[in-house]
Structure 1
Amino acid sequence: MSAVPTPEPPLAAALAAAADDAAWREAAKAGLAARRADLRRRFEAGEAIDRLVGLCCEASDTVVVSAWSRCLPPGAPLQLLATGGYGRAELYPQSDIDLLVLGEPAAQKAHEAAIGRFFSLLWDAGLATSQAVRSLAQCVEAGREDITVLTSLMECRALAGDAGAPATLAAALAPGVLWPPAAYFAAKREEQRARHARFHDTAHNLEPNLKEGPGGLRDLQTVTWMGMRLYGVPGLRALVPLGLLGEDECASLEREWRQLARLRFGLHLLAGRREERLGFDHQKTLAAMLGLKDEHRDNLAVEQMMQAFFRSAATVMRINDRLLQRFEEQLSGEESPVPVAEGYELRHGYLAMRAPARLREGAAPMFELFAAWDQAPQARGLHSETARALGESLAAIKPCDEQPPEVRQQFMALLESPQAVATLTRMARLGVLARYLPAFGRVSGRMQYDLFHVYTVDQHTLTVLAHMDGFARRADERFAIAHEVLPRLRKPHLLLLAGLFHDIAKGRGGDHSELGAVDAREFAAVHALPAADGDLVAWLVEQHLLMSVTAQRQDISDPEVVARFANKVADREHLDYLYLLTCADIAGTSPKLWNAWKDRLLADLYSATRFALRRGLENPVHANEIMAETRAKAMERLLGEGLDEATVQAIWAAYPDVGFLRYRPEQIAWQTRGIAESDAGDTVVLVRPHLQAGGLEVFVRALDRDGLFAALVATLDRLGLNVLEARVLNSSDGHALDTFQLIAPQGIAPEADAVVAAIKAALRDPARVRPVRRAAPRQLRHFRVPARVAFDTVADGRRTRMSLVCTDQPGLLAGVAQVLRQHRLRVHDARIATFGEKVEDFFLLTDERDRAVEDQALLDKLSQAIVACVDGETDHGKKEARP
């Protein structure tokens, strides 16, 4: 029969029984470790977070008080106070404990050694302390100089010594002595603004900071501190009887505190250190700890957890803004309201509804409010009382399909107004849009667990709409022709509807484009849109990826590609709307995703398709027509620059015909001029800035030989340049003509001379140039895309197309080029598309005799070798230090 284990003695008893400091330290470490293990079990079992932070605090109290009793003699004229978060008894597993030893200078000096021993014991026991030893006067001086110190001292409780010490300290730090309410409010508000700015003024970050980020725990603490300082109350709930905080608002903040606190508590348990950023390292594990399960690939457990966080953060930010406004109004005193419309006025610069109780009637008065707001551009925002009434009335809003026709007409009127995007954004921020369009509510706060979509779906949608608004105002020069296309739209508000619905079905499972098109058709029917308008919006939603996919994954210099795209688009109207939606969608996915190369790519596809539609789909453009036009325009440019026609024709005699199909006339002219200015037989390397800061175009003419493309790509990679597009042609005189569109990730490209020198050095012995593989960035390690390689033969039967989908990583293209070289295959074209952590690269290949690759055994070996390269299992995949 096994022995019954003896239960561990209580922590306090174990500490008291310790014979010396060494034994005490071991008992404290063991007790704290046991408590953390117990807290984790309780956390995973779903125990209330209020209880968990309390238990965490109790364990620290036990150790701190025991250490104080061991080190300080009874009756010492010193008080031990907990301050800050520890002072309000809100402690997380890895939080610092803020301690203040309060005593006059003489007492401090007399017990200096004992105080030092006390703090050493705590550190040795594993408690990270933030400590101060001050007299009352020193506390006042420190609080006067630093508002952070004052704020920490506002929340304190006695651990040892005089129980009345906190009250004495509070009196010494009273607003009548230092930091009066107005000054405290202004300083803390500016502190919050600066803190939000560090996080780009949004909670919608892929790795949000639970404590300091917008909508995080610090925002809740900030309004609490303001309430304490301005009104002398102990906490937020005490603001309710004062009329400064609604009961619903208070309940919402308490609910969101529990949500945020639980995430922070779990994060500390997982990290084993003080960690406030909810990074990719911990997101999936924390979601599992919270008991969340994957529903399907479009609604992962981690996405459910992050959606709950983003919704909590949005609620905290919304109520935080209202409270700050109320505090500001109280401090500003009375001010005469300024009428702006019947039933509306400005109070302290904010739009107020004179009878906000009307909002309880539902959507009609709310839409009236937004219309009035639209007509009051001078308003700083919505008045806090009106905003509170609106928030408390959201439940009265019925979905659009249950609304009477006049309310639907109100919504359409808002959508058709010049300020429609601002109105939709306000409606989304205040929760109205999610009620009127429940499908939008389902994607509010919804993130996608990848590095491509840096915004939640609702934030992405609003960003897309903002870009559309910018097209109308010509507010962004990054879009070359969008401002020219927009005025041609028959009904611009239909573009906004397409933007509103294009991702509205994310997270449901299935094709979100098809599901969203169904939603769009239902909306159009409910709002009595003309059939042609409804069909157009639904088509745009269903096909919103068509133009992006065509431009980035296919060769749009091929007339057949353009013809197929034109047949799908069918007419000029659909093309105009789709072009603008595509630009806004790509730019609204990530601030880093849109660049001048993509702008040029889409503009080229738009122009080519428009020409094909104007010519008539029954009269397709043939390649020989395009080549003849390119030749004529390039020749005109070259003659104008002083070259004689004989010289140009001599160079062009060896030029491949397809070059006049793939390149613009000005590119042909640039390449031709460079060849003409070089000595016969010389390697020609041309470099010029291209399209945007950090963008380069490189043209290389060199004797063709195996491994040339691999050497060039490896060299460009070593220079820190990312390849966006590569064109590889062969001249009839035995030269390779390679053109690269490049971009420097940080926007600062190497000097042209350095690029030329590096390429020429590499071309002296291409076989010696090896790719360098470097460690992937931390974020990429959490997103693995299984490598997939596929082959097919292009329409003319002369080329094999290889597609590669895999995880992005430094040096990937150089490694793949090396594998192709080892298999004695030639690259004739490469298109590089990166979508967050995923790359989709396309190559046109031939064997050594410039024929399509038909040997299936060879293709199988090639596929295996590329997968091994991507996974870092080849010799050239070994990590090396970057030169």
Structure 2
Amino acid sequence: MASSGSLPSLARQCRDRLNDGRGRIESRFRAGLPSVQTATALTDLYDDVIEKIWQDSLERASSSVKASQLSQLSLVAHGGYGRRDLSPYSDADLMLLTTRRSAAAAAQVASTFVRDITDAGIDCGFSVRTPRECCTLAWADAKIYTSLTESRLCFGNEQTFDRYFDRFRAGARRRRNYLNHQSLMARREERHKWGETNYLLRPNVKRSRGGLRDIQLVRWLGFATHGATSLEQLNKLNALSDEDYGTLRRAHAFMLRLRHELHFRTKRAQDVLDRPTQLDIAEDWGYQGRSGVLPVEDFMQDYFEHTRGVRYVAAYFHDDTRIRSRAAGAVESVMSRRIDENIRMGPTHIWVKSNTLEQFAQSLPDVLRLIQLANHHSRRIAHPTWQAIRKSMQDREATPPDQPAVDAFLELLKDPGRLASLLRRLHELRILDQLIPAMGRCRGLLQFNAYHKYTVDAHCIRAVEAATDFIDAENAMGRRYRRLKDKGLLHLALLIHDLGKGYEEDHSEVGRRIAGDVADLFHLSADDKDTLQWLIHKHLLVNEVAFRHDLNDPEVVHKFAAEVGSISRLELLLIHTVADLQAVGPDVLNDWKMGLIEDLYLRARRYFETGNLPGENEADLDSKIEQVKESLAEKKLDPSLIEFAKDMPLSLLRQHSTDDLIHEMHQVGEWLTHNPGCYCAGAVDPAASAVRYTIVLRQGERRVGVFARITAAFSACGLSIMRANVETVGEDLLWDQFWVNDPELKQRQPESRIEEVCRVVTKALDDPDSVMPTPRRVWQTQGAKEPSSVLLLPTKVLFDNDTFDHQTILSMFTYDRPSLLSDISGTLSQLDVVIQFAKIDTHLDQIADVFYVTNPDGSPITDSDRQETIRNALVDAVRKPLP
């Protein structure tokens, strides 16, 4: 684009006028000008600039084109510009409408008009069309159709515009079913691209589900069905109820203000609400937060409340616009049967008879029973019935449920069916808030971190959905779920398990009290109340033990089993845990985590059934050990390896088949027999999407710093450690396994890359006095990583001396960054902390690492001053800036 100084005089004047006008409007916006008036002022500004360029283009063309031809032209705004709904840096969709006789004149005007408007600084979508072409293209392309529904005559011939728009509107009415379907499909495709609003951490205020585009969808559907796009007109035509009209108006004002804010801040067309901006806007808009809820979470709760309302209104408006086939309706009616005096059920739908519908819809117990029947029989509730229920429930005063309503709700929870989708409908009508008061506080509550993808209420319902999906699963989880006698209690627990979030106190503690209140409200038995409270209170227990402890340690399994108490509770907790993890977000429950959960379950179940802990009376493992020992003896390998085989870690025994274990032991044995240094080998692990490195080392006098040197070596090679198992066996032999992510593996031969990494590792370990490898510097493009301003959670360093007498469990929770594990392990090494075992768990931007540690003399770290020294040093290491 040409510089401002080289622009023609008119374009330069218009550009200056546009910039000055935006500045004045921003000042008024900051002073409190409402968002709709701001959009109107911006539209007037665009109109003013565009009119000057339009008139100039007509004057230039008049020297070579007849005035009669120019007089037939119309300049038409459409899309957001057409409905006067602009944000500061929105583009302007314009169409030069022409008759066939004035086509040459239109081409002459367009050539100068497009150039000048672009030079003036307006991003313009422009076309030249006849009325016939407009309609033909619109019927074939949903994007063109939806944009043209909001056409507005800017300048030019009014008759030309009226002929076009009357023709367009009449054609749309005749094709309303087809065009409404195409509009909906186009919107679904866009929503799929930009994701669910309640899922996105960085929502697009225009295109994400429930955003401004869904309000536009109502207008598009209204145009074909009722001939009007104005929400006010649709309300006057009774196409939009007063309640829905108010919901859309409030949401439009909120999101339009937010879009204006994003444009003014960035000085460009910006519709993505990233996390740093969420923080800034929450502060600038005066959100204070509340106990346990950050200001940014308070702001985003408002945002999600508006998007949820838009989603529901748009969905119901679409249902209202659909014209159902008479034949399908007749078949449904003829093949229906009577359920009771009010309810009938056909092959696909269930409904309430029209003569009793109004009274029926006012009864919460009756409504819940209908929903329970719909779930049990896998039928959809007919739209007229649901609309009547929706209107009645919106008008109903919120009151505690009576026993018939509670009984109907508990019956609903027992049946997987379409439970999750029906719970969402109950949540939409705020019926869940009446049944479970704590649900209202968590409506739209965002957890401001990159781990939790959904709001608390959406996550809880998704957890129920994840559990009900097990009903058809042909695996162990499916079998366990199907044999549960009381699925209703599990579904209730999942529905309320995270409602303790948003308080200063630990959410599991708050959740236990909420579970007690719910149990009392629902009049559950004492046993069911106890189970419900226990399940909510301990719903993170499996994660804590499986992901952060050594499952080969009998004491760990014994304490876990004692906490659980029975096989029935074990299975209930297992299914709850897996459903909860699946509902957090994509790829949270990976194969590695599922393997650890399954491993813990099997060990605990074995203990309940036989009384044996890991390593006790396991004939298959004993046999494997004997075969390995015999194989090593035949090879006449290093005697220390045979001694190692006698006391082999259970993790090693269980991870490999007998043949694979013998092969690996032979490789290690051959190396240790003939080489004084460490053994390092790597192999691609497809199941974990990682490279697994095995490192075996005679420690000798070295008890401190080995882990630090290994992690530093990996960091120097540009590897990210996903997880690690560190085992010290006997007095001398260290056997470690690391699963790492290697970005270079795809660009290189795996064998040569693995050899290169092993050389770096062995050099670091075989020469302990050498300088530690320097972490590779990581270059990131702008925007690749979020700024530290969004990292609001504090670093936690916890010491546990209650689980074991002989060692301390050090747990660390913080945000991840390149070479962090190397810095942590290096810090522990400098403080003479010996790492006996480690479990590394990294997901997205957070880590939860656990180390079993001792002092150099092998004693646990119990001294409070030493603990504080270690804690402070680790926090400093986390804050260490990148090189």
TM-score, normalised to structure 1's length?
A: 0.84
Partner of 1:63: 49
Output one character per residue of 1:269-325: Cα deviation in whole Å (capped at 9) or x when no partner.
3332212222213112222343322223x3222222222222222222223222222
Output one character per residue of 1:189-214: Cα deviation in whole Å (capped at 9) or x when no partner.
22122223224556432222221222
Output one character per residue of 1:341-387: Cα deviation in whole Å (capped at 9) or x when no partner.
4344568954432233134423112112212312442x4x3332222
Aligned-partner Cα distance in 2 for 1:226–1:749: 50
Does structure 2 conserve the Cα–Cα contact (< 8 Å) formed by 1:399 and 1:436? no
CA gap of 1:563–1:248, structure 2 versus 1, over 3 A, is same
Percent identity among equivalent residues?
23
* Shift, 1:810, TM fit: 3.0
Matches within 5 A, 1:250-399: 250-296=245-291, 298-329=292-323, 335-336=329-330, 337-338=332-333, 339-342=336-339, 343-345=342-344, 349-355=348-354, 356-377=357-378, 379=379, 381-395=380-394
Aligned-partner Cα distance in 1 for 2:361–2:406: 18
Q: Which amino acid aligns with 2:778?
A: R
Counterpart check, 1:772 vs 2:773: no
Partner of 2:126: 131
Aligned-partner Cα distance in 1 for 2:478–2:140: 53
Aligned-partner Cα distance in 2 for 1:265–1:350: 44
Q: Which amino acid aligns with 2:316?
A: R
Output one character per residue of 1:229-253: Cα deviation in whole Å (capped at 9) or x when no partner.
2332343444456654434333333
Decide which of 648, 669, 681 is 2:674's aligned counterpart: 681
* Shift, 1:534, TM fit: 0.8
CA gap of 1:36–1:236, structure 2 versus 1, over 3 A, is closer
Counterpart check, 1:24 vs 2:18: no
Does structure 1 conserve the Cα–Cα contact (< 8 Å) formed by 2:22 and 2:88? no
Partner of 2:625: 635
Does structure 2 conserve the Cα–Cα contact (< 8 Å) formed by 1:630 and 1:664? no
Between stretches 650-659 and 454-463, larger displacement belongs to 650-659
Partner of 1:7: none
Decide which of 542, 566, 580 is 1:585's aligned counterpart: 580
Aligned-partner Cα distance in 2 for 1:644–1:488: 48
Does structure 1 conserve the Cα–Cα contact (< 8 Å) formed by 2:96 and 2:106? no
Aligned-partner Cα distance in 2 for 1:715–1:627: 40
CA RMSD of superposed structures (Å): 3.9
CA gap of 1:665–1:248, structure 2 versus 1, over 3 A, is closer
Q: Give the number of equivalent residue pairs.
A: 840
Decide which of 41, 50, 60 is 2:30's aligned counterpart: 41
Matches within 5 A, 1:329-728: 329=323, 335-336=329-330, 337-338=332-333, 339-342=336-339, 343-345=342-344, 349-355=348-354, 356-377=357-378, 379=379, 381-395=380-394, 402-419=400-417, 421-422=419-420, 423-474=422-473, 481-486=476-481, 489-614=484-609, 626=616, 632-635=622-625, 638=628, 650=639, 652-655=641-644, 659-667=648-656, 669=658, 670-677=660-667, 678-679=670-671, 680-682=673-675, 684-687=679-682, 692-704=687-699, 708-714=706-712, 716=714, 718=717, 720-728=719-727
Q: Which amino acid aligns with 2:123?
A: A
Does structure 2 conserve the Cα–Cα contact (< 8 Å) formed by 1:710 and 1:814? yes
Classify the secondary structure of the residue corresponding to 2:84: coil
CA gap of 1:367–1:730, structure 2 versus 1, over 3 A, is closer
Q: Which amino acid aligns with 1:364?
A: P
Output one character per residue of 1:422-445: Cα deviation in whole Å (capped at 9) or x when no partner.
443443355432333222232222
Aligned-partner Cα distance in 1 for 2:97–2:560: 77
Aligned-partner Cα distance in 1 for 2:233–2:345: 28
Classify the secondary structure of the residue corresponding to 1:655: helix
CA gap of 1:869–1:566, structure 2 versus 1, over 3 A, is same
Counterpart check, 1:842 vs 2:840: no
Between stretches 668-677 and 530-539, larger displacement belongs to 668-677
Classify the secondary structure of the residue corresponding to 1:226: helix
CA gap of 1:245–1:349, structure 2 versus 1, over 3 A, is farther
Q: Which amino acid aligns with 1:427?
A: L
Classify the secondary structure of the residue corresponding to 1:215: coil
Question: Which runs of no fewer than 5 residues in structure 1 stay unpaired?
Answer: 1-17, 879-883
Output one character per residue of 1:9-36: Cα deviation in whole Å (capped at 9) or x when no partner.
xxxxxxxxx9953762464144323333
CA gap of 1:795–1:646, structure 2 versus 1, over 3 A, is farther
Aligned-partner Cα distance in 1 for 2:736–2:657: 12
* Shift, 1:540, TM fit: 1.3
Aligned-partner Cα distance in 2 for 1:330–1:516: 45
Output one character per residue of 1:477-512: Cα deviation in whole Å (capped at 9) or x when no partner.
5xxx43454456452322222112211232244332
Does structure 2 conserve the Cα–Cα contact (< 8 Å) formed by 1:627 and 1:657? no
Partner of 1:164: 159
Aligned-partner Cα distance in 1 for 2:743–2:488: 36
Partner of 1:11: none
Does structure 2 conserve the Cα–Cα contact (< 8 Å) formed by 1:562 and 1:605? yes
* Shift, 1:593, TM fit: 1.3
Q: Which amino acid aligns with 1:770?
A: T
* Shift, 1:727, TM fit: 1.2
Aligned-partner Cα distance in 2 for 1:332–1:118: 51
Between stretches 672-681 and 303-312, larger displacement belongs to 672-681
Partner of 1:50: 36
Decide which of 89, 93, 108 is 2:88's aligned counterpart: 93
Classify the secondary structure of the residue corresponding to 2:737: strand
Classify the secondary structure of the residue corresponding to 2:77: strand
Aligned-partner Cα distance in 2 for 1:271–1:19: 27
Output one character per residue of 1:670-717: Cα deviation in whole Å (capped at 9) or x when no partner.
445323243523554454565835155432224547865345435555
Partner of 1:832: 840
* Shift, 1:746, TM fit: 13
Does structure 2 conserve the Cα–Cα contact (< 8 Å) formed by 1:521 and 1:534? yes
Output one character per residue of 1:84-134: Cα deviation in whole Å (capped at 9) or x when no partner.
111111111221111223335775655767654444443344322222234
Output one character per residue of 1:609-665: Cα deviation in whole Å (capped at 9) or x when no partner.
33444566xxxx778x5498686142255489x776786994644428764355434
Q: Which amino acid aligns with 1:771?
A: P
Does structure 1 conserve the Cα–Cα contact (< 8 Å) formed by 2:372 and 2:412? yes
CA gap of 1:176–1:846, structure 2 versus 1, over 3 A, is closer
Counterpart check, 1:811 vs 2:819: yes
Aligned-partner Cα distance in 2 for 1:797–1:349: 63
Classify the secondary structure of the residue corresponding to 1:738: strand
Aligned-partner Cα distance in 1 for 2:234–2:328: 20
Classify the secondary structure of the residue corresponding to 1:840: strand
* Shift, 1:792, TM fit: 6.7
* Shift, 1:574, TM fit: 3.0
Does structure 1 conserve the Cα–Cα contact (< 8 Å) formed by 2:625 and 2:645? no
Between stretches 659-668 and 544-553, larger displacement belongs to 659-668
Q: Which amino acid aligns with 1:374?
A: N
Aligned-partner Cα distance in 2 for 1:347–1:483: 30
* Shift, 1:807, TM fit: 1.3
Aligned-partner Cα distance in 1 for 2:172–2:588: 53
* Shift, 1:803, TM fit: 3.5
Does structure 1 conserve the Cα–Cα contact (< 8 Å) formed by 2:592 and 2:688? no
* Shift, 1:396, TM fit: 6.2
Does structure 2 conserve the Cα–Cα contact (< 8 Å) formed by 1:474 and 1:483? yes
Partner of 1:207: 202
Classify the secondary structure of the residue corresponding to 1:592: coil
Between stretches 490-499 and 857-866, larger displacement belongs to 857-866
CA gap of 1:546–1:861, structure 2 versus 1, over 3 A, is closer
CA gap of 1:361–1:849, structure 2 versus 1, over 3 A, is closer
Does structure 1 conserve the Cα–Cα contact (< 8 Å) formed by 2:89 and 2:263? yes
Aligned-partner Cα distance in 2 for 1:220–1:450: 29
Classify the secondary structure of the residue corresponding to 2:206: coil
Decide which of 727, 751, 761 is 2:759's aligned counterpart: 761
CA gap of 1:630–1:819, structure 2 versus 1, over 3 A, is farther
CA gap of 1:427–1:25, structure 2 versus 1, over 3 A, is closer
